[in-house]
Amino acid sequence: MALTVMKFGGTSVANVERLQKVADRIIKQKKTGDQLIVVVSAMGKTTDELVRMAGEISDRPSKREMDVLLSTGEQVTIALLSMVLIQRGYDAISFTGWQAGIKTEDVHESARIGAIDTSLIRPHLKKGTIVIVAGFQGVTEIGEITTLGRGGSDTSAVALAAAFGAAKCEIYTDVTGVFTTDPRYVVNARKLKEISYDEMLEMAYLGAGVLHPRAVEYAKNNHIELVVRSSFSDEEGTVIKEEVFMEKSKSVRGLAFEKNVTKVTLLGLPNSVCAVSKVFDAIAAKHINIDVIVQNVLDQEKTSLSFTVDRDLLNETLDVLKTQEKALHFQHLIHESGLAKVSIVGSGMASNPGVAAQMFHALAEKGIKVKMISTSEIKVSTIIDEDKLQEALETLHDTFRLTEEESVRL
């Protein structure tokens, strides 16, 4: 008997009417004979509302208490969805993250899953019960509730699929699949029939919100085929898998972007490997993620170091650096907000020279200044002014002809 994991996002379960629609899909899948684990997010804007209330109490609420607070959103969804299925004559049972045996590291607000105790759920699957699990959450070895950060329900779903050896993992959302870029920004963005793990992983890390990067990592490492599709239509979605049977006629397959970027620069930093590592050690100790990094050597003694962080982490980053100013030995600290990151992604870029030059030429023709650059074998990222984001996306989408269909390998 095959096992399928189905995950439904917040918009899919926003109210009782939509929960009934989700139940229709679950029942349809159950009738195929599959064992089912269903992972759900909090309903609609529940998480945003909880964050808002916490913000009325404190500018920097306790991370532990935020995890306790935010984890309640999914608990509401699992109970209501189970009630819907039971009312319609199906055996269903709900599990919070800790009841489902999802063990995480001891980090609040962005914990990673370390292990899943499958013995807690397996007896219910064997009986044919539909298991409903709260996404986005887990528990530490000492019983502390943790959350997995943005997009954490995707990660919960794929981790459960890996732990239970599921045949597939379906991610139901408010879009019909993975597009060449966000269709809300580029109206002629095209839905991809399939995309490789590596390409999807880059796009997810670079800001494509349709999947969380950790979820793609789990899928790639455990060879789990993902399908991203809409909760609101029967349209075929996008398949994410190891090999994509498409000609590499396009070196670029998609655009990703991220708003709310801030550039932080340390001037007059000692020109040594040790000095640079101390900076990143201090930031990492506070679990702050940094992104694009550029170092400029000024002379034999001094260097400047720039990196980007999410704007919401700016104050915390500045606090760390100012506290460590004497130990790090930099002379000046400056920052610039109002930036965005725009990236081109495609596994075909590795064998097609000149793609980066084409990107920079297209941006230059529109007068869009590139402030930082980061590259890998299958992506090129640029930091630009956020007010130029829309124009940059439209320009690059046209430049790399992403609206056109790719040819199928024979």
Three-state secondary structure of 75-86? HHHHHHHHHHHH
CATH number of the domain residue 96 falls in = 3.40.1160.10
Rounded average pLDDT over 47-63: 95
**Are residues 217 and 156 located together in one domain of the fold?**
yes
CA distance 205 to 207: 6
* pLDDT tens string 367-380: 999 999 999 889 99
pTM of the shown model? 0.82
* pLDDT tens string 304-360: 999 999 999 999 999 999 999 989 999 999 999 999 999 999 988 877 778 999 999
Q: How confident is the model at residue 227 (pLDDT cuts 50, 70, 90)?
A: very high
**Are residues 185 and 284 located together in one domain of the fold?**
no
Q: 346 and 358 in contact (C-beta within 8 Å)?
A: no
**Are residues 66 and 212 located together in one domain of the fold?**
yes
Which of 101, 128, 103 has the alpha carbon at shortest distance from 117?
101
Residue type, 108: H
Is 408 inside a domain boundary? Answer: no
Most confidently predicted of 78-87, 177-186, 368-377: 78-87
User: Does the pLDDT at position 245 exceed 60?
Assistant: no
Rounded average pLDDT over 386-396: 97
Domain that holds residue 151: 3-246
Q: How far is CA 281 from CA 112, 113, 284, 292, in A?
A: 20, 23, 5, 16
Q: Which residue has the tokens 């980061």?
A: 374
Among 246, 264, 288, give the residue marking a domain's end: 246
Token readout for 329 is 């030995």
**Are residues 86 and 226 located together in one domain of the fold?**
yes
Token readout for 114 is 């370390």
Token readout for 267 is 């001037």
Rounded average pLDDT over 221-241: 92
* pLDDT tens string 249-278: 578 999 999 999 999 999 999 988 889 999
Sign of CA dihedral 147, 150, 152, 153: positive
Among 220, 246, 272, give the residue marking a domain's end: 246
Q: 176 and 229 in contact (C-beta within 8 Å)?
A: yes
Which of 258, 257, 262, 259 has the alpha carbon at shortest distance from 337?
262
Token readout for 372 is 């930082």
Token readout for 387 is 């007010």
**Are residues 169 and 222 located together in one domain of the fold?**
yes
Is 404 inside a domain boundary? Answer: no
User: Does the pLDDT at position 109 exceed 60?
Assistant: yes
Sign of CA dihedral 272, 276, 278, 281: negative
**Are residues 342 and 378 located together in one domain of the fold?**
yes
Q: 172 and 25 in contact (C-beta within 8 Å)?
A: yes
**Angle between helix 314-323 and 273-284 (nearest 10):** 130
Among 186, 218, 246, give the residue marking a domain's end: 246
DSSP string, 288-333: -----EEEEE-SSSEEEEEEEEEGGGHHHHHHHHHHTHHHHT-SEE
Largest Cα–Cα distance in the chain?
75
**Are residues 223 and 267 located together in one domain of the fold?**
no
User: What is the predicted pLDDT for the residue at 247?
Assistant: 43
- In terms of Cβ atoms closer than 10 Å to its own Cβ (0-12, 13-18, 19+), residue 29 is middle
Which of 369, 377, 373, 386 has the alpha carbon at shortest distance from 343?
373
Q: State residue 323 phi and psi, 5-degree precision.
A: -65, -35
CA distance 294 to 267: 12
* pLDDT tens string 289-304: 899 999 988 777 899 9
CA distance 60 to 140: 23
Q: How confident is the model at residue 410 (pLDDT cuts 50, 70, 90)?
A: very low
**Neighbouring residues of 210: CB distance < 8 A, sequence distance ≥ 6:** 173, 175, 178, 179, 204, 228
**Are residues 269 and 224 located together in one domain of the fold?**
no
Which 3 state secondary structure label does DSSP give 339? strand
CATH number of the domain residue 271 falls in = 3.30.2130.10
Which 3 state secondary structure label does DSSP give 215? helix
Mean pLDDT, the chain, integer: 92
User: What is the predicted pLDDT for the residue at 306?
Assistant: 95
> How many percent of the chain have pLDDT more than 70?
97
**Neighbouring residues of 60: CB distance < 8 A, sequence distance ≥ 6:** none
Four-CA torsion 353, 355, 357, 363, nearest 10 degrees = 180
**Are residues 185 and 265 located together in one domain of the fold?**
no
Number of domains in the chain: 2
More confident residue, 390 or 218: 390
> How wide is the angle at C-alpha 218 spanned by C-alphas 217 and 223, nearest 5°?
100
Which of 86, 91, 85 has the alpha carbon at shortest distance from 24?
85
User: Does the pLDDT at position 42 exceed 50?
Assistant: yes
